[in-house]
Amino acid sequence: MADLSGNKEEKAGEKHGAEPLIPGLPDEVAELCLLYLPYPHQALARSVSSSWNRAITDPAFLVSKRSLSLSLPYMFVLAFHKSTARIQWQALDPRSSRWFVLPPMPCPKTVCPPAFACASLPRQGRLLVLGGMRSDTETSMDSTFIYRSSTNQWSTGPPMLTPRSFFATGNVRGKIVAVGGSGSGTGDAITAVECYSPESGRWGPAAKMRTGLARYDSAVVGNRMYVTEGWTWPFMFSPRAGVYDADRDTWQEMSNGMREGWTGLSVVLDGRLFVISEHGDCPMKVYAPDLDTWEYVGGDRFPREAMQRPFAVNGVEGRVYVVSSGLNVAIGSVYEEADDGGFCVKWQVLVAPKAFQDFAPSNCQVLYA
C-alpha cells in the first residue's frame, strides 16, 4: 500500500527506510488507530512522522475510513468579517460543538463573499467553491477551489467555462451543476449552465436556462435541481424559477405551488424540501409534492432571539443546521408525528465562540470527514 504514496514522500521514505507507523505494532493494525482519529486531528497527525504522513495522505486511507463507517458529518461554514469583508472557512463538529478554522482559501484578497457559490461531494470529503466576484475590479471569476478534509488542504481546480458570480450550484447525483448568475457587468444575467464531473475533472456545457434570474436559491431533490428567485422583500415581483432535469439535460417550469410558497432558504432532508422562511418568526415549511403546496412544520418555534440574519442553511441525517450572524447555530431535529404524519421540529442552539462574533455566514456545506 505504501507503494501508492505520492512522489513527494518517496524521497523521505528512501532516506528513512520503512519506519513502522507505531513501534511494536504491525502497520495494518497501527493504521486502524490513525483511522479512528476524527477530523481534523488526522490531518494534524501528518506531522508526527513521515510514515504517518504517507499513510494519511494515501488515497486508500480515505477508502478504508469510509468502509469502516468512521466518517462523520461536519458543517463547513463560509463566513466573512462584517467590517473588513475578510473571508474565513470554519468547520463545526456537531457532536462536540467544537469549531476548527480552515487554512485560508487561495483566492484573490479582495472578493465579495456572497458572490461565491459552494457545493460539496460529501462522501469524498470535498468542498468546491466556485466563481465569485473581485470587489476591486467588480469582475466575475471562473475559478474552482477545492478543499479536501482528509489533508485539510486547498487546491485549485479547473476553471469554469463561464465566469459567474451570485449564482446557484448543487450536487446532482455526484455531478456539480453551476447555473446562471451575473457575468461582467450588472444586469448581465447569464443563462448558461455547466456541469463538473469529479471523475473526469472537467467542466462541460449543459442545457441553458430559459431566463436568467436576479437572485438565486436552489435545492437538489433526486435528479432535479430547483432554482428560484424566491419571494423576498419588497415582494413586488412574482419570483421566476426553473427546474433542471439532469438525466435529460432539459429545463422545465417550476410548478406554481412550489414557486409561490418558496419564501426563504431551502434545505433538503431525505428527499424532502424545506424552507426556513425569511419573514416573521422564520417559520419552517415543507413542500408536499402530491398537493403542490407548502405545509407548516409543527413543534418548536424557531429560536429567533439567538439568531440574527443573514442565515446559511444546510441539513444532514434528519437535522437542519441554520447558521446566523456571529455563527450561532440552530440545530433543528426534524421528525414525523406518529398520528397525522406531519413534520415537527425541535430546535437547539449552539452559541458560537466570541472570536466569531463579527462574522456573518454566507454558505454552509456538509462533508463527511
Partner 1 sequence: MSSSAENPTLTAEITKPSTEIATETAQSAKKITLKTSDDQIFEVEESVAMEFATVKSFFEDAPSSTDTVPLPNVPAKPFSQVIEFCKEQIKFKANPDETEKKRSNSEFVKEKTNEDLVEMIPVANYLEIKDLLDVLNQAVADRIQNRSVEYVRSFFGIDNDFTSEEEALLREEHAWAFEDVDED
> Closer CB to partner 1, residue 27 or residue 138?
27
C-alpha cell at 129: 467553491
- Given the rule CB under 8 A, which of 31-39, 207-215, 228-236, 265-273 is the region that contacts partner 1? 31-39
Please name which of 122, 224, 119 lies closest in space to residue 176, comparing C-alpha atoms.
Answer: 119
35 in contact with partner 1 (CB under 8 A):
yes
64 in contact with partner 1 (CB under 8 A):
no
50 in contact with partner 1 (CB under 8 A):
yes
Q: What is the C-alpha separation between 96 and 356, in angstroms, rounded?
A: 17
Whether 89 contacts 102, CB under 8 Å? yes
Least distance CB 53 / partner 1 (angstroms): 7
> Looking at 18, 60, 63, 101, which residue binds partner 1 (CB under 8 A)?
101
**What burial class does residue 299 get, using C-beta atoms within 10 Å of its C-beta: 0-12 exposed, 13-18 middle, 19+ buried?**
middle
> Looking at 2, 12, 85, 306, which residue binds partner 1 (CB under 8 A)?
12
Residue partners of 295: CB distance under 8 A and separation at least 6: 285, 286, 288, 342, 343
- Given the rule CB under 8 A, which of 23-31, 179-187, 210-218, 324-332 is the region that contacts partner 1? 23-31
19 in contact with partner 1 (CB under 8 A):
yes
Please report which helix (H) or strand (E) contains residue 335, including its range: strand 329-336
48 in contact with partner 1 (CB under 8 A):
yes
Q: How many residues bind partner 1 (CB under 8 A)?
A: 35
For residues 220, 77, 154, 12, the Cα torsion angle rounded to the nearest 10 degrees is -120
95 in contact with partner 1 (CB under 8 A):
no
> Looking at 100, 134, 159, 198, which residue binds partner 1 (CB under 8 A)?
100
- Given the rule CB under 8 A, which of 39-47, 109-117, 224-232, 276-284 is the region that contacts partner 1? 39-47
> Closer CB to partner 1, residue 37 or residue 349?
37
106 in contact with partner 1 (CB under 8 A):
no
Q: What is the C-alpha separation between 234 and 117, in angstroms, rounded?
A: 24
Binding string, 136-175, against partner 1, x = CB under 8 A? Answer: ----------------xx----------------------
83 in contact with partner 1 (CB under 8 A):
no
> Looking at 6, 59, 103, 205, which residue binds partner 1 (CB under 8 A)?
103
26 in contact with partner 1 (CB under 8 A):
yes
49 in contact with partner 1 (CB under 8 A):
yes
Least distance CB 37 / partner 1 (angstroms): 5
> Closer CB to partner 1, residue 2 or residue 221?
2
54 in contact with partner 1 (CB under 8 A):
no
> Looking at 1, 4, 18, 44, which residue binds partner 1 (CB under 8 A)?
44
41 in contact with partner 1 (CB under 8 A):
yes
Looking at 151-305, which runs of residues are DSSP E strands? Answer: 153-157, 168-172, 175-179, 193-197, 202-206, 217-221, 224-228, 241-245, 250-252, 264-269, 272-277, 284-288, 293-296, 298-299
CA distance readout (Å), 330 to 6, 107, 313, 346: 41, 29, 10, 10
Whether 89 contacts 128, CB under 8 Å? no
Query: Running DSSP on this structure, what letter comes out for residue 35?
Result: H
Please name which of 56, 130, 120 lies closest in space to residue 91, comparing C-alpha atoms.
Answer: 120
CA distance readout (Å), 222 to 170, 241, 268, 343: 11, 18, 10, 20
> Looking at 1, 4, 18, 29, which residue binds partner 1 (CB under 8 A)?
29
Q: What is the C-alpha separation between 266 and 275, in angstroms, rounded?
A: 4
77 in contact with partner 1 (CB under 8 A):
no
Positions in the binding site for partner 1 (CB under 8 A): 12, 16, 19, 22-26, 29, 32-38, 40-41, 43-53, 100-103, 152-153
